[in-house]
Amino acid sequence: METIYSYLSKKQESTSLALFRLGFGLLMTYSIIRFWLKGWIQMMYIDPSFHFTFYGFEWVTPIGNYTYLLFLVCGLAAFFVAIGYRYYISIIIFFLSFTYIELMDKTTYLNHYYFVSILSFLMIFLPCNSSYSIDSYLKKQSIKFCPRWCVDSIKLLLFIVYFYSGIAKINNDWLFEAQPLKIWLTTGSYDFPLIGSNLMQQEWFHYFMSWGGMFYDLLIPFILIYNRTRILGFVLVIFFHLFTALLFPIGMFPYIMIMSSLIFFSSKTHKKILDFILKPIALRINDIKQIENIKIQKQPLGLFVVCIFFIIQFLFPFRYSLYPGELFWNEQGYRFSWRVMLMEKRGYTTFKVVDSQNENSFYVMNDDFLTEFQERQMSFQPDFILEYAHFLGKHYKSQGLKNIEIYADSYVALNGRISKRFIDPDRDLLKEKRGFKNKDWIIPLNEKINSL
Amino acid sequence: MGDKPTVFYFRMMNYFKKIIYSILVIFVIVSCSSDNEDEIDQVPQFDRSSILKNYADNIIIPRYNDFKAELDNLEIAVNNFTQTPNSSNFDQLHDMWLVTYKKWQYVEMFNIGKAEEIMYFNTINTYPIDEQRIKENISSQKFDLRNSNDWSCQGLSGVDYMLHGVGISKEEVIQQYKDDSNYGNYLKNLLTIMTSNTADIVQDWSTYKSTFIGSSGNSNTSSLNMLTNDFIYYFEKGLRTNKIAIPVGYFSGGNPFPEKTEAYYSSKNSFENVSKVLAKEALTASESLFIGKSSSGSVGASLKTYLDYLHSADVNKDNLSPIIVANFQKAHQALDDLNENFIDQINDDKSKMLNTFDKLQALVVNMKTNMLSILSIQVDYIDADGD
């Protein structure tokens, strides 16, 4: 108890939070602009007539052309976060708008969007505007210190992201079959200076990358924590993320991780970086009165929320163990758990609509309702399949068909295995409820991939 | 604070130097070890551009040339017939139409480059055709065949109607052309746009070829990815859905639409039963592309040899290519079992059509899940981020 109390009273220079806030805000502003310019708002949120929702968040849907406004608000909030202008309102708006965007259609789900969402939630409770911010400039005072746990909480979240994605790699496919890297690297066409393209075809290299990736994820948080190895760690972070950025289309994720990893450096380093970046306006910052000996606010409520937040973060990825069957196949508890790049999974799923009164049946053309992107995601993820079946049920009932049943004809290929039937073709999916109950209408894989 | 940033700048430069040197060292180590590996363990590397080269040189371009040659002959036959509408000219025209339609089955899948740009396959083979609209076009003589609303009024399916649908017998049809020059005029217009589009595409391939072969990467827009997607799209929609599934009523509660079969009028009015002939050609064309077989029978690099390579490189345990080849065999057998005339087949016994559908469906499943997965080709062109 004593040690906990003394830890909580420890302080650290607020420059660490300031640099993090600046980096995060700018990257997010850029991400939103990039998303917009690529035409993805139109393609992913406006064009589709149907959207896949998260269970419990069915009410979160795109809002027509106002969706653009939502992105505008989100982008502006990100920029205000960057410059530290009305920070608390901005980060709350950013968290809400970004999370709303991610909840609109789970077709677009990515782990790093989830990371951004929960990180921005965490930042609501951190005084990231204490210094080097417009807020402090306007108040003409900056606060030199912040509670150390504030900085550490960001490190802890990064620790979870890395370490858990390392744990997720401890499975038979990844370590002992080098899948799916074997498929991706062999069929990718890479031609790097010096290493050329031949290396990617070598089987030993696939194993090297798989094992290397696992050790990297498991160890990098520790390498970054210790003073002596920190520089090495950061070099590894840059190398690893830029290398994967070259290999795979993973968007902003590498840059977000590289920026975030800077948090492990000392406040002094952060201050130097900030002074260096802000050199042109350094004079004006000098005008600001710095409060040094302020008592660190205890923020008991914030601390409490952050503690709950981390308990959830630690436990949530393990919820899959509550379900029987193979995780990679059933995907029950797969998302929100830092499982990245673990599966080369493809499906082909069509639906049969049966009129139970006269046994007439017909098949649905998926492209009548779904975009190609949605159809691809739907075809191998059970919760998508069920939600879509229910949508079809509603659609055909509104067309005047009563007493209908809907059956899925579904095949899935996973990590180089030949495809096999995925959904029990004799189960009427309209009778199955959405939710967290075990989906016993999935035909089991009957193979053990996930050993943990 | 004045000069601190400068000092810091030098410190940072030192960091960066260290970082860059470290990366270089890692690259050198990695590349050296890969050189050594080459000598010990020669992994024959698969060159995607070899597939593209074989496809372009031995399949796509020759097939387009074949089609163009027959289409030009068809145009001559049309001119002869419209000038002198008589029985022998009609027979020649009908035969040329069928020959051309068969050759078409070998190019419909190549919806890439110029063909994609002008929506070529829609202009040649949209069916069922819009009878009413064609009639209006003929009588008004005011029409714009480049308008997408007129896709269902032109092409080889349009010619089918013009030859076999404007009367229910040869005599009736010939009489129409004798009585009303608008018919001949419209038919000639159909040929003009087809030959001009086709000439454009053939011409375009002479320059597009190098771009096509050069784009040998694995991105959403590289040639093999686009071609494979086009091929599967064609197989699923153009072949399985349009030729079999829609007519037999697979998507319509078992209510069949025999009038939606390909080249409907020729079969319906008993000029010649052609539905099965065309479907067989389409299946052969698809199989040939998969195994890389040219019209002269030579076999080269293809999706099949790529799958064989990946299996030999231990990327996947079960080799897919023999499975897919066997799937094609079964589909051929199922098609062979059908009546030459799908209208009759649908009216007599739908189950054989449905059996054919199942065999084609097995191919779709294998290609869309297993093949695309092993080749890591995305099924859509979306450049969304991954995880």
Q: Do A346 and B379 touch (CB under 8 A)?
A: yes
Q: How far is B65 from chain A (nearest CA, A)?
A: 31
Q: How far is A363 from chain B (nearest CA, A)?
A: 5
Distance CA A244, CA A233 (A): 16
Measured distance between the N- and C-terminal CA atoms of chain A, rounded to whole angstroms:
33
pLDDT at B21 over 60: no
- Comparing alpha-carbon positions, the chain A residue that sits nearest to B237 is A365
Q: Do A203 and B374 touch (CB under 8 A)?
A: no
Question: What mean pLDDT is predicted for residues A228-251?
Answer: 93
**Within the 269-308 window of chain B, which residues sit less than 8 Å (CB to CB) from chain A?**
none
pTM, rounded to two decimals: 0.90
Contact B226, B355 (CB under 8 A): no
Binned at pLDDT 50, 70 and 90, residue B33 comes out as very low
DSSP annotation string for A272-315: HHHHHHTGGGHHHHHTSEEE-SPPPP--HHHHHHHHHHHHHHHH
Q: Which residue has the tokens 């990371």?
A: A115
pLDDT tens profile B271-322 = 999 999 999 999 999 999 999 999 899 999 999 999 999 999 999 989 999 9
Q: Which residue has the tokens 């040659």?
A: B69
Distance CA A301, CA A39 (A): 41
Contact B106, B66 (CB under 8 A): yes
Q: Is B358 on the interface with A (CB under 8 A)?
A: no
β pairing state of A345-355 and A145-147? unpaired
Q: What is the pLDDT of residue A196?
A: 64
- Contact list, A108 vs chain B (CB under 8 Å): 384
CA A411 to chain centre: 27
Contact B373, A416 (CB under 8 A): yes
Q: Do B385 and A340 touch (CB under 8 A)?
A: no
Choose from A200, A346, A374 for mutation: most chain B CBs within 10 A: A346
Torsion of CA A135, A141, A144, A149, to 10 degrees: -40
| Average confidence score pLDDT of chain A | 92
**Within the 94-153 window of chain A, which residues sit less than 8 Å (CB to CB) from chain B?**
108, 110-112
Cis ω on the peptide bond leading into residue A180 (within 30° of 0)? yes
Contact B121, B153 (CB under 8 A): no
Q: Which residues are CB-neighbours of A140 under 8 A, at least 6 positions away?
A: A287, A288, A289
Q: What is the pLDDT of residue B216?
A: 86
Q: Determine whether B2 is exposed, middle or buried from the number of CB atoms within 10 Å of its CB (0-12, 13-18, 19+).
A: exposed
Q: Do A272 and B216 touch (CB under 8 A)?
A: no
* CA dist list (Å): B19 to A245, A246, A276, B14, B26: 17, 18, 19, 9, 11
Residue B165 DSSP one-character state: T
Q: How far is A92 from chain B (nearest CA, A)?
A: 25
β pairing state of A145-147 and A11-13? antiparallel
Q: Which residues are CB-neighbours of A282 under 8 A, at least 6 positions away?
A: A275, B1, B5
pLDDT tens profile A207-230 = 999 999 999 999 999 999 999 999
Q: What token pair was written down for A89?
A: 């309102």
* Position A270, amino acid: H
> Length of chain B, please?
387
Q: Which CATH class is domain B48-374?
A: mainly alpha
Q: Which residues are CB-neighbours of A447 under 8 A, at least 6 positions away?
A: A326, A417
Distance CA B281, CA B283 (A): 5
Distance CA B93, CA B268 (A): 18
Contact B158, B127 (CB under 8 A): no
Contact A30, A362 (CB under 8 A): no
pLDDT at A408 over 70: yes
Q: What is the pLDDT of residue B382?
A: 67
Binned at pLDDT 50, 70 and 90, residue B1 comes out as very low
pLDDT tens profile A56-115 = 999 999 999 999 999 999 999 999 999 999 999 999 999 999 999 999 999 999 999 999
| Average confidence score pLDDT of chain B | 89
Distance CA A413, CA A346 (A): 5
Q: What is the pLDDT of residue B5?
A: 46
Q: Is A34 on the interface with B (CB under 8 A)?
A: no
Give the strand order in the sheet containing A361-363: A361-363, A345-355, A404-414, A420-421
Torsion of CA A244, A248, A251, A255, to 10 degrees: 0
Q: What is the pLDDT of residue B36?
A: 41
Binned at pLDDT 50, 70 and 90, residue B18 comes out as low
Angle at B338 between CA B336 and CA B340, to 5 degrees: 95
**H/E element, A348:** strand A345-355
Q: What is the pLDDT of residue B10?
A: 54
Contact A96, A70 (CB under 8 A): no
Q: How far is A10 from chain B (nearest CA, A)?
A: 27
pLDDT tens profile A6-65 = 898 889 999 999 999 999 999 999 999 999 999 999 999 999 999 999 999 999 999 999
Distance CA B228, CA B224 (A): 6
- Contact list, A111 vs chain B (CB under 8 Å): 387
Q: Which residue has the tokens 């879509």?
A: A388
Q: Determine whether A46 is exposed, middle or buried from the number of CB atoms within 10 Å of its CB (0-12, 13-18, 19+).
A: middle
- Contact list, B383 vs chain A (CB under 8 Å): 38, 249
- Which residue ranges make up each domain of chain B? 1-42, 48-374
- Contact list, A44 vs chain B (CB under 8 Å): 384
Q: Do B317 and A416 touch (CB under 8 A)?
A: yes
Q: Determine whether A30 is exposed, middle or buried from the number of CB atoms within 10 Å of its CB (0-12, 13-18, 19+).
A: middle
A407: phi then psi, degrees, rounded to nearest 5? -120, 145
**H/E element, A257:** helix A253-261
Q: How far is A373 from chain B (nearest CA, A)?
A: 7
Contact A309, A302 (CB under 8 A): no
* Position B335, amino acid: L
3-class secondary-structure state, position B180: coil
Binned at pLDDT 50, 70 and 90, residue A1 comes out as confident
Crossing angle between the packed helical segments A66-83 and A87-104, to the nearest 10 degrees = 140
β pairing state of A141-143 and A289-291? parallel
3-class secondary-structure state, position B332: helix
pLDDT at B350 over 70: yes
- Contact list, A239 vs chain B (CB under 8 Å): 22-23, 26
* CA dist list (Å): B367 to A161, B235, B351, B357, B370: 35, 10, 24, 15, 6
Distance CA A416, CA A205 (A): 18
Torsion of CA B285, B287, B292, B294, to 10 degrees: -40
Distance CA A31, CA A68 (A): 14
Contact A234, A261 (CB under 8 A): yes
Q: Poorest-confidence range of A334-338, B221-225, B368-372? A: B221-225
Residue A171 DSSP one-character state: B
Distance CA A337, CA A344 (A): 17
Q: Do B4 and A202 touch (CB under 8 A)?
A: no
pLDDT at B28 over 50: no
Q: Poorest-confidence range of A187-191, A194-198, A314-318? A: A194-198
Reported ipTM: 0.89
Choose from B369, B374, B380, B382 for mutation: most chain A CBs within 10 A: B369
Q: Which one, of B374, B28, B371, B34, lies nearest residue B232 by Cα?
A: B371
3-class secondary-structure state, position B155: helix
More reliable by pLDDT, A275 or A163: A163
- Contact list, A420 vs chain B (CB under 8 Å): none
Question: What mean pLDDT is predicted for residues A365-373?
Answer: 94
